[in-house]
Copies of this chain bind each other. A is one copy, B any other.
Amino acid sequence: MLSTSTPAQKLVLKAHNTATSPRSTYRHGDLRRALLDAGIELARAGGPEAVVLREATRRAGVAPNAAYRHFASREVLLQAVRASALSAVARAMEAELDGIAGGLPPADIARAGVRAVGTGYLRFALKETGLFLTAFAPSDVLIQATPELPTAGNSGLNPFELLGAALDELVAAGVMPPERRPGAEFLAWSAVHGLAMLVVRGPLASVVRPRIEEVGQRLLDMVEKGL
Q: Nearest chain B CB to A75's CB is how many angstroms away? A: 15
Contact mask for chain A residues 202-227; partner B; CB cutoff 8 A; 1 contact, 0 none: 11101110010001001101111111
State A223–B143 Cα separation when bound (angstroms).
Answer: 30
Q: How many residues of A contact B (CB 8 A)?
A: 39
Q: Does A139 contact B (CB under 8 A)?
A: yes
State A160–B183 Cα separation when bound (angstroms).
Answer: 28
State A222–B133 Cα separation when bound (angstroms).
Answer: 26
Q: Nearest chain B CB to A124's CB is how many angstroms away? A: 15
Q: Does A67 contact B (CB under 8 A)?
A: no
State A184–B155 Cα separation when bound (angstroms).
Answer: 35
Q: Nearest chain B CB to A218's CB is how many angstroms away? A: 6
State A206–B222 Cα separation when bound (angstroms).
Answer: 27
Q: Nearest chain B CB to A61's CB is how many angstroms away? A: 31
Q: Which residues on B sit within 8 Å (CB–CB) of A222? A: 187, 191, 222-223, 226-227
Q: Nearest chain B CB to A214's CB is how many angstroms away? A: 8
Which residue of B189, B226, B227 contacts A194 across the interface (Cβ within 8 Å)? B189
Q: Which residues on B sit within 8 Å (CB–CB) of A227? A: 222, 226
Q: Which residues on B sit within 8 Å (CB–CB) of A138? A: 47, 133, 201-202
Q: Which residues on B sit within 8 Å (CB–CB) of A196? A: 194
Query: Contacts A143-B203, A225-B225, A225-B226 known; A219 to B198 CB distance under 8 Å?
Result: no
Known pairs A136-B202, A189-B194; list 11 more (Cβ under 8 Å).
A133-B138, A136-B203, A142-B203, A142-B206, A183-B211, A186-B195, A186-B204, A186-B208, A191-B191, A191-B222, A225-B226
Can you name 29 A-B residue pairings with CB atoms under 8 Å?
A47-B138, A136-B202, A136-B203, A138-B201, A139-B201, A142-B206, A143-B203, A183-B211, A183-B215, A186-B204, A186-B207, A186-B208, A186-B219, A187-B195, A187-B219, A190-B191, A190-B194, A190-B198, A190-B219, A191-B191, A191-B219, A193-B194, A193-B202, A194-B195, A221-B226, A222-B222, A222-B226, A223-B226, A225-B225
